[in-house]
Amino acid sequence: MKEQELVKAFCQGYAMALVEERTFKGEDVSSVDDWLDWDKYNINLYGSYYSQKTTSDYQLQVEVYPRGWADKLPAPLFNFVVDGENK
């Protein structure tokens, strides 16, 4: 599996767990803006409130950066949308 596919699979699982937790509380993920450290990456996941690329309140925009960047945010290594709804 390619590196980007592994990162996307991790983010998909994270999004699905987050949607399940938020749905239990009567919320969606539209206002989420989370940063995660995973392996050699810093991952920013954010909801439709902050993203024009998402098409529902259960999707997250994902930007993946090299871990350990400092001062100035570099261009993302990967950029994609994950769906947190279990279809």
Q: pLDDT in tens for each of the 87 residues of the chain?
A: 699 999 999 999 999 999 999 888 888 889 999 999 999 999 999 999 999 899 888 899 999 999 988 889 999 999 999 988 766
Looking at residue 87, what is its pLDDT?
61
Q: What is the DSSP letter of 44?
A: E
Report pTM.
0.89
**Looking at this protein, which amino acid is placed at residue 12?**
Q
Looking at residue 22, what is its pLDDT?
87
Asked if 12 and 59 touch (Cβ cutoff 8 Å), the reply is no
Residue (of 78, 82, 47) closest to 63 by Cα position: 78
Three-class SS of residue 65?
strand
